[in-house]
Structure 1
Amino acid sequence: MLRQPLVCQTKSIKPQTDASDERLLLLDIVNENHYAYHMETRDRPNNAIRLLVELHRLGATQEQLSLAYQKSLLQAERIRFSDYHRLNERNWEEFLGISSYYGDYVMFFDQQLSLLGLEKTLTNYFYSIPPSMGAQLQPLVQLAFGIEHDLPQIITQALAYYATSYLDVSNILDYCDTHTGVDTPYDTLNTILFDLIRVDQRFDGKFEYNAFRPAIKLLLKSKSDLIKTYMKTWSIYTPESRLDALVFSATSLYKASSRASNGHVDLDWFLAGGQLLEATLAIKQLIRPDHLEDWLNLQCLNTLCTYVVQGRPFNHQHHLLMPDIESCRMAILESSDPQLMLALASLLKVMVHYPQWDSICLENASLLTLFSKDGTWIKQGLGWTR
């Protein structure tokens, strides 16, 4: 019988708490949740632990930490375990992409990480298979987070999430060219999305699915040749310039996937929730140089497919009033909306690593602030409803 998570203990995190006490408390919460919850439920990643850390960085109060943590677990799904261990070093690849095996993969990767250590585990079970586009690359975000904070349980959860959401797109990635050594402007991906794909009638037609993953799979199957032509154009540029273009595009998509009317703001869950931005930053942080090419192409494909499935929204040119970032931070913390808080945290990271884009980040933060007062997340694609 699993114990209940330590929801009440989040209230003991105080700004003046000793760092070692904070670390022990975080480890307690991680341990309590390790075998409790699946990493994704109905296209919603379980970001409970990452949320706590990000909110603490943002200076959240005890009450804000506790409320946001509890809300983040409201829709979390309990892990189901098999009666026997089905996974081993010989058969672990046979069950990739099957979400019901999540608990088995967690236990398997717990064992492998303990036996092999981090680098060999990643070599054997992460880099040994073609990169996966499943779950909007959110398993990679969790993996980078777990490594950054030295949390073995988060690392194995991320690997299990990666395995059970696995979506092989190697047939498209293999079509990409090797880069020519030429840099690309930082807005190249925006040009591909907003000037070309948005008006390309070959992408017309809504994908009638109630979930994100089936819609992505249908797009990849039905428009494979068309997608390859766009990917071939993208892949010829240097990795460094493509990484910059991915960050800029993911940042731009916040405003592009919004709609404001009479003080109410709608935001697209998959384009404006910070997932694309966090995935790009995770690639920058984590991926080994000899694998970077594939992962940059993968993230371009992820961005392209998300944009198409969500209705190819316009790139808005309207300007928002920009309050100072501190006002935005306080308003968004008061909202207790976990996704909104993570979306802000992603923008703040961009402001640290890419200060040249502070103005667009501040505009986005202003948009999130308006949303915190009266907003709705749209999962079915805001581009379809214009």
Structure 2
Amino acid sequence: MATASIVNVSQSTAGVYHVPSIPNETLETATRVLQANHEQHHVFFNDRGFHNHITHYLLTQTAIAATPAQIERAYVQEKALQRPQFPIDQQAVEQMKDEDFFRSCVSQGKHYQNFLTFFERKIAEHGVGPVVYEHLFSHKPNAELLFSRMFASFLHPLIHFGFGVEFDQPPIIAEGLAQAAVHQPEVAHFFKSTEAAMNATVDKDGRPMIDLIREVEQNDKIRNAPCLGDGSFIADDPLLKAPEDLWHIAAKWHVSPDQLEEKTAEMINVNAYFTAAAQMAPKEHKLDFFLIHNVNCSIFFSAFLQKDWLRVEDKVRLLEWKGRFDIVSYAARGSPRLRIEDVINYRPKKPTMGWDQLFKRVNAFLDDSHVCKLIRALANGAQVCKPYELHPKFPMKNSMFLQTAHMAMDSTEDALYLMRWVRGAGFKQQWEKFKDRAPEAAASAT
């Protein structure tokens, strides 16, 4: 059993979506290398704030039954990039009990290990639920700092925290909280602006997410906002200058407690839809590197639903802000024209492969976590959204999830690393480096 500082992945903690039988040797290998990562590596592997993806990669591979050798290879590959943990400052860890001192350390990467140690000790003393509530959902000033930062850097802290929650790993939950604490504050502007717009709106019932995405798609003022550049930005700074129209549209996504399960499925569905359909014919099929993070994060909301130590009102708030951030994320990448026919008519390289075969294929691939995370999240989406197949608020039909998973695998498997994804799918210039589709594929898209 996992403790506050010890990772232990087992058959009973293999995630909300996993293959039926995971070899014990895979679980043991994953546990060993995840513990090594937890103890030895910083959350950022360089001074630009690029993220350590070892936890994401290995837990995903475990859930889809990678072999022990594949787990080990992935760890060795990613380990080569990492920076060592900074030394623990025991005095700073102790002082973090003081709210003012805690706040003074936020957004400083040098304090990651101190925050991690602080949260581990808190979890050991009080348990996961009370610590997460106090430091994320209590609405106290420091909790608000961390809550907004969960959505920073295209959702990385929330993704990391989500892995900890989904796989019932307290040390990884502590990593996620610590990661949020050392991110920058720009995304908080998004929360404040959208919340102000929400409070000013007369439409308190909200609207379907796909309608809001379509509204952004048709708004040229948002699409042509100078702050978005070419849609390839990594830092959150451009969002500080986004048009007010965007905040008002995002504010129309509302969630009530009695809608929680259906709205979770709706968010998952629409995330997959706008990510898959953001194509630029006649260019070859590619998925947007930034938008896939919205899909990759969506699976954790299936996990949040299952955790009784998360209050209903906190699940609602997380989902409400995730949906609003999804709308902003779509706009940030140029509000790409959505061509779902490019998904429907896509011809996979290996069309007979189902989910299990795709899992084996991606486990054998020299990934960096992004492709396997995406394929597992899409498989979860197909499962979660199936009951809503005929509902108009769910534009992504069941067969499209597998089509998109094929597209993800086909478009990355043989590509050079920087050619795996488009970055800023709504901007024509971001597609210029990619080749045109084969004639038969181009014909099927017209």
Mark yes or no: TM-score above 0.5.
yes
CA contact (8 A) 1:106 1:157 kept: yes
Q: Which residue is equivalent to 2:289?
A: 269
Give SS of 1:381's match.
coil
Provide structure 1 residue ranges, at least 5 long, that are not aligned to the other structure.
1-14
Aligned mates of 1:116, 1:313 — CA distance in 2: 46
Query: Relative to 1, partners in 2 of residues 1:228 and 1:306: Cα closer, same or farther, differing over 3 Å?
Result: closer
Which residue identity does 1:196 align to in structure 2? E
Cα deviation per residue 1:153-185 (whole Å; 9 max; x = unaligned)?
21211110121126434413533259989685x
Query: Relative to 1, partners in 2 of residues 1:84 and 1:118: Cα closer, same or farther, differing over 3 Å?
Result: closer
The equivalent position to 1:200 in structure 2, one of 219, 244, 251, is: 219
Q: Superposition RMSD on alpha carbons, in Å?
A: 3.3
CA contact (8 A) 2:299 2:381 kept: no
Give SS of 2:248's match.
helix
Aligned mates of 2:49, 2:398 — CA distance in 1: 30
Which residue identity does 1:85 align to in structure 2? Q
* TM-score between the two structures when normalised by the length of structure 2: 0.71
Provide structure 2 residue ranges, at least 5 long, that are not aligned to the other structure.
1-19, 390-396, 432-446
Which residue identity does 1:144 align to in structure 2? G
CA contact (8 A) 2:278 2:336 kept: yes
Q: How does 1:1-386 map to 2 (within 5 A)?
A: 19=24, 23-41=27-45, 44-81=50-87, 83=89, 85-87=91-93, 88-90=96-98, 91-128=101-138, 129-130=143-144, 131-132=147-148, 133-165=151-183, 167=185, 168=188, 169-175=190-196, 176=198, 188-193=208-213, 195-203=214-222, 204=224, 205=226, 207-208=228-229, 212=233, 214=235, 216-219=236-239, 221-223=240-242, 225-235=244-254, 238-258=259-279, 265-273=285-293, 274-278=295-299, 280-281=301-302, 283-285=304-306, 287-316=310-339, 317-318=341-342, 319-321=345-347, 323=351, 324-325=353-354, 326-337=356-367, 338-355=369-386, 356=389, 357-375=397-415, 376-378=419-421, 380-384=423-427, 385-386=430-431
Aligned mates of 2:71, 2:32 — CA distance in 1: 15
Number of matched pairs = 364
Aligned mates of 2:297, 2:77 — CA distance in 1: 22
Which residue identity does 2:380 align to in structure 1? K
Q: Which residue is equivalent to 1:4?
A: none
Query: Relative to 1, partners in 2 of residues 1:93 and 1:284: Cα closer, same or farther, differing over 3 Å?
Result: farther
Aligned mates of 1:48, 1:33 — CA distance in 2: 7
Aligned mates of 1:172, 1:16 — CA distance in 2: 46
Which residue identity does 2:265 align to in structure 1? D
Which residue identity does 1:320 align to in structure 2? Y
Aligned mates of 2:40, 2:233 — CA distance in 1: 24
Which residue identity does 2:289 align to in structure 1? W
Q: Which residue is equivalent to 2:12?
A: none
CA contact (8 A) 2:333 2:425 kept: yes
CA contact (8 A) 1:80 1:103 kept: yes
Query: Relative to 1, partners in 2 of residues 1:269 and 1:285: Cα closer, same or farther, differing over 3 Å?
Result: farther
Query: Relative to 1, partners in 2 of residues 1:27 and 1:330: Cα closer, same or farther, differing over 3 Å?
Result: closer
Shift of 1:346: 0.9
Query: Relative to 1, partners in 2 of residues 1:172 and 1:328: Cα closer, same or farther, differing over 3 Å?
Result: same
Which residue identity does 2:371 align to in structure 1? L
CA contact (8 A) 2:160 2:172 kept: yes
Shift of 1:344: 0.7
Aligned mates of 1:372, 1:170 — CA distance in 2: 34
Moved more, 170-179 or 374-383: 170-179
**Identity level (%):** 16
Shift of 1:247: 0.8
Query: Relative to 1, partners in 2 of residues 1:28 and 1:366: Cα closer, same or farther, differing over 3 Å?
Result: closer
Aligned mates of 2:205, 2:229 — CA distance in 1: 40
Give SS of 2:66's match.
coil
Aligned mates of 1:270, 1:199 — CA distance in 2: 21
CA contact (8 A) 1:143 1:155 kept: yes
